[in-house]
Amino acid sequence: MKKNQVKRNSLTQLLLSVLIVVLVSFVSSRVFFRLDLTTDKRYSINESTKTALRDLKDIIYVKVYLSGDLPPTFEELRRSVFETLEEFRAYAGANIQYEFINPSESEDEKVRNDIARQLVRKGLVPRTIRVKDKDGYKTKYLFPGAIISYREEEIPLNFLDTKASNARTRVEILVNDAQGRLEYNFLNKIRTITQIIPPEIAFIHGHGELERMENISLARELSDMYGVRVIDPAEYVFALRDSMRLKYKAIIISKPRSRFSEKDKFILDQYIMHGGRVLWLVDYTQVSMDSLSHSSNTQAIPIQRDLNLNDILFNYGVRINTGIIQDLNSAPIPINTAAIGTEPQFSPVPWVYFPLIAPRPIHPITTNIGRVKLEFANPLDTVGENPLVTKKVLLTTSQYSKVVSSPAIIDLNIINEDPNPDYYRAGPQKVAVLLEGNFQSAFKNRLVDDITQNETFDFKDQSKKTKMIVVSDGDISKNPVITRNGDQQPLPLGSDKWFDQIYFSGNLEFLLNAVNYLTDDFELVTLRGRKFQLRLLDKPQLLENKGFWRVVNIGLPILIMLIVAIIVGMVRKYRYVKKK
């Protein structure tokens, strides 16, 4: 080949290469796309999150307090937070700004302590770790969280789930869970801080429902997303709606214990008929666990007639029965196992009257949530044949269940018996159901024309398309309350007042998902259900074979490069020698 021809070919290849690079750069600057090849889609964000980020009206400023010399696990969390915020910036542009701050950067201990106190006052929860340096081990405080600012408002975000953590929980597990919830937590906080008027929900009171202190854990979690109110209908027709709109996007009826009047039922019915959503947490049996601390038995008394709700629930498609469920898969209660005359020592013992539900991923509400603890739950059935209403069972007990008729004697001595599985063959019992569609009014054909035809009342005998969830246990939303120094203090929902290491995360997760689903916040339900697979290194194997892996990681790339170089050299030599 002539020298000029070779030169022209080389120049052509160079120009073509430059043209391709320019073209790719131009297309990539105009067309935005990302590929996530991980099996659990660790680096993908939800479409609703992208929409929320694009719709931001002003700058969200995030101060992340994860910087400096971090342990490897928290360095991984810092990297995940950075990647999440970078992903957010890809859709929000300049409306997402952030910085990483090391709260322990100052050499002055007083300054560090002042900064730590300020962060605690703002709502960040510190975590104590022990790190090794040249002088031995020392205690170090980390603040795995962020302060999110929007205009004049600030809101804290703690990355680790402080409710579920205890001394026995591996930090790798907490960090992995935190990584899985980063998008949800950031989106939830952004929604909260940017909403001018958040939608409102209400807890119904006036019928012996759970006291404020017993529901405060759930109420606080919901208050991050909604305006939360406590309402007593008090037989006022427009307590939940007026002639123009519904006052509350959803209402929660949590373990009522006294009678609903016909007027209050009418108020609830017409709220539903106008499109209102209801979370019913109702059981039909009354049992006092406090009685068992003084006696070996107590009574279970049916209160179905006392509540006066059976007809209205039956009309919508659900019947709660008065039997009590026993389940071999159950949560524990504290039993004194110390010898007589010695200091009491309490141990957790399974209590068949406290079913422990393992939710199945049959619906977004129950996907990837923890175990749900119930107390003296009743079985429920779906009834009626309204073709406009669909019914979906959300929670069931285990197959090793049975139902005890009430009234009944609840005997504490049952814990001393060896349970015979042959007695627990009733199969899974339904305890939560979702109803969606157009409901018939429970007061259809029951009222005089003066009411049904009165424009002020705006009576409807069939609902708009709406939904409700019925759970046959009111204690599902009840958080423990302890007394310290004469003051009542609530514990997080799902925790145990006797044993710190016991925590049932599913109660809160299920209820938050239920309310989010009822209020059409589907993206929060989806994001809360995301879980990342934890892939931990086998440390003993790593230490045993670290020499081999060092050789592989360092030597193998060099060997591959040498082989490629030799092959390329041989090909070039063969090509040009042959042409000569």
* Residue 483 pLDDT class (50, 70, 90 cuts): confident
| Whether the predicted pLDDT of 446 surpasses 90 | no
| Whether the predicted pLDDT of 211 surpasses 80 | yes
Least confident residue range of 174-178, 251-255, 469-473: 174-178
Q: What pLDDT shows up at residue 508?
A: 94
Q: Could you tell me how far CA 176 lies from the centroid of its own chain?
A: 15
For residues 19 and 29, what is the distance between their CA atoms, to the nearest angstrom?
A: 15
Mean pLDDT is highest, among 13-27, 120-134, 310-324, for 310-324
> Residue 407, preceding bond cis, omega within 30 degrees?
yes
* Residue 276 pLDDT class (50, 70, 90 cuts): very high
Place of tokens 């214990």: 257
Q: Which amino acid is at 123?
A: G
| Whether the predicted pLDDT of 422 surpasses 80 | yes
Query: Which pair of tokens denotes residue 119?
Result: 């962060």
Q: What pLDDT shows up at residue 167?
A: 47
Rounded to a whole number of angstroms, the distance between the first and last alpha carbons of the chain is: 8
For residues 452 and 119, what is the distance between their CA atoms, to the nearest angstrom?
A: 58
Closest CA to 53 of 97, 95, 82: 95
| Whether the predicted pLDDT of 507 surpasses 80 | yes
| Whether the predicted pLDDT of 27 surpasses 80 | no
* Residue 521 pLDDT class (50, 70, 90 cuts): confident
CA distance to 209, 490, 495, per residue, from 402 (Å) = 27, 32, 26
Environment class of 504 (CB within 10 Å of its CB; exposed 0-12, middle 13-18, buried 19+): buried
Q: What pLDDT shows up at residue 177?
A: 82
- Residue 465 makes CB contacts below 8 A (sequence gap 6+) with 275, 436, 437, 438
Q: What pLDDT shows up at residue 321?
A: 94
* H or E segment and range at residue 395: strand 389-396
Q: Contact, 341 vs 348, CB < 8 A?
A: no
Mean pLDDT of 220-241: 91
**What one-character DSSP code corresponds to residue 421?**
G
Q: What pLDDT shows up at residue 4?
A: 65
Q: Hey, is 505 helix, strand or coil?
A: coil
Place of tokens 């290469």: 17
Q: What pLDDT shows up at residue 382?
A: 95
Closest CA to 51 of 83, 7, 92, 87: 92
Query: Which pair of tokens denotes residue 355?
Result: 């079913």
| Whether the predicted pLDDT of 38 surpasses 70 | no
For residues 448 and 457, what is the distance between their CA atoms, to the nearest angstrom?
A: 12
Q: What pLDDT shows up at residue 31?
A: 52
Averaged pLDDT score across all residues of the chain:
85
| Whether the predicted pLDDT of 369 surpasses 60 | yes
For residues 312 and 237, what is the distance between their CA atoms, to the nearest angstrom?
A: 17
Q: Contact, 492 vs 163, CB < 8 A?
A: yes
Mean pLDDT of 201-218: 94
Residues forming beta bridges with residue 250, ordered by sequence position: 201, 277
User: Residue 77: how many CB atoms within 10 A of its CB?
Assistant: 24
Q: What pLDDT shows up at residue 320?
A: 96
Closest CA to 377 of 268, 495, 471: 471
* Residue 133 pLDDT class (50, 70, 90 cuts): low
Please count the CA atoms within 13 angstroms of the CA of 261 that sit on its side-chain side. 11
| Whether the predicted pLDDT of 297 surpasses 50 | yes
Least confident residue range of 308-317, 388-397, 446-455: 446-455
Closest CA to 38 of 89, 101, 99, 83: 83
Long-range contacts, 180-183 (Cβ 8 Å, 24+): 180/530, 180/531, 180/532, 181/527, 181/528, 181/530, 182/80, 182/81, 182/84, 183/45, 183/46, 183/49, 183/84, 183/527, 183/530
Q: What pLDDT shows up at residue 136?
A: 64
Superfamily of domain 47-189: Glutaredoxin (3.40.30.10)
- Residue 155 makes CB contacts below 8 A (sequence gap 6+) with 123, 147, 148, 189, 192, 193
Mean pLDDT of 353-376: 93
Selected residue with higher pLDDT from 335 and 156: 156
| Whether the predicted pLDDT of 533 surpasses 60 | no
Mean pLDDT of 184-194: 88
Selected residue with higher pLDDT from 95 and 420: 95
pLDDT over 90 percentage in the chain: 46
Structural domain boundaries of the chain? 47-189, 197-528, 537-571
Mean pLDDT is highest, among 176-190, 241-255, 469-483, 549-563, for 469-483
Q: What pLDDT shows up at residue 141?
A: 80
| Whether the predicted pLDDT of 449 surpasses 50 | yes
Mean pLDDT of 442-447: 85
* Residue 467 pLDDT class (50, 70, 90 cuts): very high
| Whether the predicted pLDDT of 550 surpasses 90 | no
